[in-house]
Structure 1
Amino acid sequence: MVDVLGAQLYAWSALIALLLFALFVRRVIGVRLGLPRTLLAAAVGTTLGPALVTSMLPVPPGSADTLDLLLYTALLSVVALVVAMFALATIEMLVPNGSLPGPVSTARGLRGRLRRSRRYLRILRVLAQHGLARFLRGGRHRGVATPEDRRALARSVRRAMEDAGVTFVKLGQQLGTRRDIPPEFVAELSRLQDEAHPLPWPAVEAVLAAELGAPPSQVFASIDPEPLASASVAQVHVARTTAGRDVVVKVQRPGIASQVAGDLDILDRLARTLTARTAWARHLGLTDLVAGFAAALHEELDFRVERDNLATVAAGLEASAGIVVPAAEPDLSTARVLVMERMPGIPLGAAEPVLARLGEDRRRAIAENLLHVVVDQVVVRGVFHVDLHPGNLLVADDGTLAMLDLGSVGRLGSRARTQLALLLAALSTADSVAVTDALLEVVDRPDVLDEHRLEQEVGEVLARFTGPSTVQAAQAAQAAPAMAALFQLVARYRLGIPPQVAAAFRTLATLEGTLQVVCGGYDLIDGARRYAGRSAAHATSPRELRSTLEAELLGLVPVLRRLPRRIDRITDAVEHGRLQVNVRLLADPADRRFVTRLWHQALLVVLACTAGLMAVALFLAAPGPMVTDVVGIFHVLATALLAGSVILVMRLLVVIFRGADDGPP
């Protein structure tokens, strides 16, 4: 029993000593590092350090002088410390800090990895079934060089997304509205349908009871168990409130939020992998695309966001005749249930008989009004419908349009709205210089950009697609390829598009097809030109000019009041020779930190080299005055200087291997 207790005490004392030594090593290294790797380095130091010393010097006997024992112990400690720091620097070089998950995060992520594995296998199986697994390996693929090959590949991508589930269907629908991807993919992805088998009524009833706090029969005067529409995220039922209002009830499918969250996690990991391995993913900006898509989809899954969006968009449509949005029932709407006014009409995609009865002039007026409302939402109000395809518009018998599915809207700040307005105005004038300047204000510029060549190519696009034409249908047919060519320029010149600006472009691209359904042959470019002309006339009207001038003057009044005094001070200083110009170097704190860090590192290099050279010189001049029978004072000083030099070098090496400093060493 005594031996067991003694062994336990020895083990615990050794472990505590190792931990204290590891903390001391981490303190000496001067950089925040993980405790597991520090413990490993300390174990290496305490094992190899004494072994190296005993291989070079004999262990002094127990009867040796106390000074000899102290010097030997100090030498053991210094060598162990140096070996531990060498081990820590080597570990940091081979396995940088943060490149491997820690034990706690590994344990927490194990369940998620096990849960994702089945979904990974299903997605990989879908990709393999449609012949897409070869694109995960990266590199160039010559099998997609011709339009026929690209159409076949686009068809496989569409079918794979349909088989993969709701998240991938919605991602494909978003990709189908972009104009910077090949047209074969746009054509196929735009055919993706968000349809699903209807849920049985008991499952819907359970969701309604859980969200509304009572069975549907007690909340509504009546509700139809048969769904009006069924999609992958939710399905819609017709109902009547106890106040007698006809409404539709949008009910989220059970478990869809957790499924989408898992799929978004997989999409994020897949996008990062493809971006690292393939050129086409980097060219497309796949990681940013997935991040923006995930944010929009999370909003779409929270029906309270759609409830608020309905009110926001409706407020901007009060003065617009002919376009409405349904009013929500706030008291009956939750995160998974949305109750809103039932709008009359049929979806635009099936409304050709209604539109035909209205006549060509009325159809053109509806298309014109829809264009003006959407452009006004984008460039004036800053809140707009991001996916206004024909399925999200209802057409009433009198031609009134109702906007649906406002689960995800785009939002633009005042600066972005102004930049987009300038771009649309420049496009309406077909001025290549103005279009190029406005485009560069909207996008994120790369570090290197040939502006002169970009301006020439923009001019070629404008000359090719916006030139005079005598056939109205030919002009309308040119709108789509003009937008596509402009987006191809953006992609080729690596001009980054901010997510919300990309959402605005997506809205305009989707609107183009919708306008063609409302009025075949409608010219989007000509309509935008007329809108820009009317907007310019409104902005330059006497009333608007007066209000603009008043707003500007209100901002200038404080400056104008201080201006005479400042001019007087400047002239007085010039007259008496007291005018000075002060320029502060390194005024930015980040610049000061950078210079300070460089100075500290340079100083450490000088100190390490000096200490190392002095140690070598002392070793050559040893022994000097004798401390013991075999150890001279120069030996002790040289060892201390050498240890200090090694410590400074190790600190610098760890900082270099980490690639980013945590601060001055």
Structure 2
Amino acid sequence: MLRVSQALRLVHINIVLLRHGLDEVVTATRLFRPLRFLLYLAPWHWFRRDLPPYPVRVRLALEQLGPIFIKFGQILSTRVDLLPPELAVELAKLQDRVPPFGGAEARALIEKAWGRPVEEVLAEFQEQPLASASIAQVHAGRLRDGREIIVKVLRPGIEKTIRRDVDLLFAFARLVQRYFPEGRRLRPVEVVQEYEKTIFDELNLQREAANASQLRRNFRHSEDLYIPEVHWDWTRANVMVMERIYGTPVSQVATLKEQGISMRRLGTRGVEIFFTQVFRDNFFHADMHPGNIFVEPSGRYISVDFGIVGTLTKEDQRYLAENLLAFFHRDYRRVAELHLESGWVPQGTRVEEFESAIRTVCEPIFEKPLSEISFGAFLVNLFQTARRFDMEIQPQLVLLEKTLLNIEGLGRQLYPELDLWTTAKPYMERWMRDQISLRTLVRRSAENWPALVERLPELPGALTRLVDHLDRQTYTHPHSPASNIDAVAKQLQRNNRRTTSALAAVGLTGCATALLLLPQPAHSPPLLVPAAAVTLLATSLALVWRALIVPAR
């Protein structure tokens, strides 16, 4: 049940919508649909004042409702392919033109965080904000050594405001999970938990600064993306100081064209940057709406606002890459198998039936020119089909999907003919090849080498004890009646095979130890001896696995 405070917040939301003439939004919900006729009896319906256009009313209502609603509007604003153009343009104003709070109040918050007057730290500070967003606003300044900086400061009381709306989301999620037929599959509580973590991480500007530093290292020498430098000496939990950058907002397409920048290259570069962050670095900027992206005259992107970042597990990375490649190649059988292997659909699902359903959705879409395929529309159709098979929502992938939709929307603003699929396909194929390359094998071996060497001296003794244990099992078996002689014989054979495997493992481990301890031969390749030792140890571990776990046939 909703608490009193949550019920009051819900009433307030509906009042704001009604005040801005968005009656149809209120009455479209199942709760209020039976009361739609009351609108015609309401006084404000008879004497309605002149209202701004519908897109303006939507933006004003979202601004008044607070940060979570503003974030929702920012996400929608990037989908010009799914929204009416005039609504997308109006919602784009939510990206950096939310009404600011006072400059004097911002100065007071900064001085409290620093524990000293602004003038002692900065040679110049502008109280008029450069930009104002849902959670923080940005002021320009100059350090005493002459470097230009920006000072980002959190809105006062923002945590309490967000906590109120997140608690309301949790209440709705629990109701959906309890009473809605598909509540278990949609996993709404887990999705809100993921969002709660994301939004509250954004309230810690030291965390954002750390994210910026990581991205800056990842793209330090890149010609595609520039990340500004963080000034850590003056960064606090609610105040961040960062290098000031200059560039053209990515939404100003006409200006970018006047500068001679290739829109096609800019669109494809954005997709490449995203896939590089996801698969090469496993650390991606997850709030890439146009208000956070600028472009240098050279065509290089500049990114700001790093409060929301995402990562994936190695397993999710691999399954995601394989799924995308299978879609690219129209290998629907492999898509169905991957969903089963990853546990995204129940294990009892028939692969052939799921494959047929995916083919039914995808074939009509892929028959179009690739540049006309909307990834957002594709995902919607795919999820609708997956409902039949009780496919569960993956909360850890929601942020990635939202970012990918933003990237596609942004790319098609720049270059309407952007082919997300063709741009991404070579990258995915290259990444998959790299995962099984010799270089990757050597790199991973080098990463695991210290732990392996640390345990290496213990392996011979452990394997010797294993052999002794198996020997005792081989010659001590219970007395059995004649009817069980065959079973006993099979058990003895199994133990003998295990003993043989264990002895071989001891020998191989000894060889690997000797390779590591003896001097390396002159003029031999630097990685030859470690690679040979790793090979012997891998074979030894496989034999141990066979001795301990795999039953002899």
2:277 aligns with: 377
**Residue type of the alignment partner of 2:163:** A
- Alignment CA distance shift 1:210-1:114 (3 Å): farther
2:201 aligns with: 299
Matches of 2:353 and 2:59, distance apart in 1? 36
Matches of 1:225 and 1:154, distance apart in 2? 31
- Contact kept? 2:125, 2:139, Cα under 8 Å: yes
Counterpart check, 1:477 vs 2:372? yes
1:357 aligns with: 259
2:66 aligns with: 165
**Residue type of the alignment partner of 2:354:** L
**Residue type of the alignment partner of 2:242:** M
**Residue type of the alignment partner of 2:390:** R
- Alignment CA distance shift 1:383-1:246 (3 Å): same
Among 77, 100, 108, the residue aligned to 1:198? 100
- Alignment CA distance shift 1:458-1:575 (3 Å): closer
Matches of 2:76 and 2:341, distance apart in 1? 24
- Alignment CA distance shift 1:153-1:282 (3 Å): farther
2:192 aligns with: 290
Residue pairs, 1:597-608, within 5 angstroms: none
- Alignment CA distance shift 1:534-1:510 (3 Å): same
TM superposition shift of 1:436: 2.2
1:25 aligns with: none
Cα offsets for 1:95-147 (capped at 9, x unmatched): xxxx9xxxxxxxxxxxx967666534312423555334456655999x9xxxx
Matches of 1:535 and 1:374, distance apart in 2? 14
- Alignment CA distance shift 1:565-1:459 (3 Å): farther
Matches of 1:435 and 1:496, distance apart in 2? 15
Matches of 2:276 and 2:253, distance apart in 1? 25
Match of 2:129, SS?
coil
**Residue type of the alignment partner of 1:244:** G
Matches of 1:186 and 1:379, distance apart in 2? 33
1:504 aligns with: 400
Among 338, 345, 349, the residue aligned to 1:445? 345
Among 16, 37, 41, the residue aligned to 1:126? 16
- Contact kept? 1:127, 1:160, Cα under 8 Å: yes
- Contact kept? 2:228, 2:304, Cα under 8 Å: yes
| Bigger Cα displacement from structure 2, 547-556 vs 406-415 | 547-556
- Contact kept? 1:348, 1:517, Cα under 8 Å: no
| Bigger Cα displacement from structure 2, 240-249 vs 286-295 | 286-295
- Alignment CA distance shift 1:170-1:550 (3 Å): closer
TM superposition shift of 1:364: 3.5
Cα offsets for 1:47-86 (capped at 9, x unmatched): xxxxxxxxxxxxxxxxxxxxxxxxxxxxxxxxxxxxxxxx
Counterpart check, 1:579 vs 2:491? yes
- Alignment CA distance shift 1:441-1:338 (3 Å): farther
Matches of 1:387 and 1:290, distance apart in 2? 17
1:459 aligns with: 359
- Alignment CA distance shift 1:282-1:576 (3 Å): closer
Among 400, 415, 439, the residue aligned to 2:300? 400
Cα offsets for 1:582-610 (capped at 9, x unmatched): 9xxxxxxxxxxxxxxxxxxxxxxxxxxxx
1:516 aligns with: 412
Among 425, 428, 432, the residue aligned to 2:328? 428
- Contact kept? 1:252, 1:337, Cα under 8 Å: yes
Matches of 2:441 and 2:68, distance apart in 1? 49
Matches of 1:280 and 1:540, distance apart in 2? 39
TM superposition shift of 1:465: 2.8
2:524 aligns with: none
- Alignment CA distance shift 1:157-1:294 (3 Å): farther
TM superposition shift of 1:306: 0.5
Matches of 2:183 and 2:18, distance apart in 1? 19
Match of 1:340, SS?
strand
Matches of 2:387 and 2:73, distance apart in 1? 19
Match of 2:242, SS?
strand
**Residue type of the alignment partner of 1:417:** Q
Instruction: Name the % identity.
Output: 26
- Contact kept? 1:379, 1:420, Cα under 8 Å: no
- Contact kept? 1:324, 1:401, Cα under 8 Å: yes
1:416 aligns with: 316
Matches of 2:264 and 2:324, distance apart in 1? 21
- Contact kept? 1:176, 1:185, Cα under 8 Å: no
**Residue type of the alignment partner of 1:225:** E
Matches of 2:441 and 2:248, distance apart in 1? 43
Counterpart check, 1:267 vs 2:169? yes
Among 265, 286, 291, the residue aligned to 1:391? 291
Residue pairs, 1:40-439, within 5 angstroms: 119-126=9-16, 130-131=22-23, 132-134=25-27, 137=30, 161-174=62-75, 192=91, 193-194=94-95, 195-278=97-180, 285-360=187-262, 363-439=263-339
- Structure 1 unmatched ranges of 5 or more: 1-98, 100-111, 144-151, 583-665
**Residue type of the alignment partner of 1:261:** R
**Residue type of the alignment partner of 1:123:** I
2:505 aligns with: none
Matches of 2:254 and 2:468, distance apart in 1? 69
- Alignment CA distance shift 1:311-1:379 (3 Å): same
Matches of 2:245 and 2:401, distance apart in 1? 28
- Contact kept? 1:172, 1:189, Cα under 8 Å: no
TM superposition shift of 1:429: 2.0
- When the two chains are superposed, the root-mean-square deviation of aligned CA atoms in Å is 4.3
Matches of 2:86 and 2:470, distance apart in 1? 68
TM-score (norm 2): 0.70
Matches of 1:185 and 1:500, distance apart in 2? 30
- Contact kept? 2:227, 2:304, Cα under 8 Å: yes
- Structure 2 unmatched ranges of 5 or more: 37-52, 476-485, 496-553
- Alignment CA distance shift 1:356-1:418 (3 Å): farther
Higher relative contact order (CA 8 A, sep 6+): 1
- Alignment CA distance shift 1:366-1:443 (3 Å): farther
Matches of 2:283 and 2:430, distance apart in 1? 21
- Contact kept? 2:206, 2:240, Cα under 8 Å: yes
- Alignment CA distance shift 1:387-1:491 (3 Å): farther
TM superposition shift of 1:248: 0.8
TM superposition shift of 1:550: 8.1
- Contact kept? 1:410, 1:503, Cα under 8 Å: yes
TM superposition shift of 1:516: 2.0
Cα offsets for 1:533-575 (capped at 9, x unmatched): 333454565544665688899989979x959969996996799
**Residue type of the alignment partner of 1:410:** G
Matches of 1:171 and 1:230, distance apart in 2? 16
TM superposition shift of 1:176: 7.5
- Alignment CA distance shift 1:355-1:441 (3 Å): farther
1:525 aligns with: 421
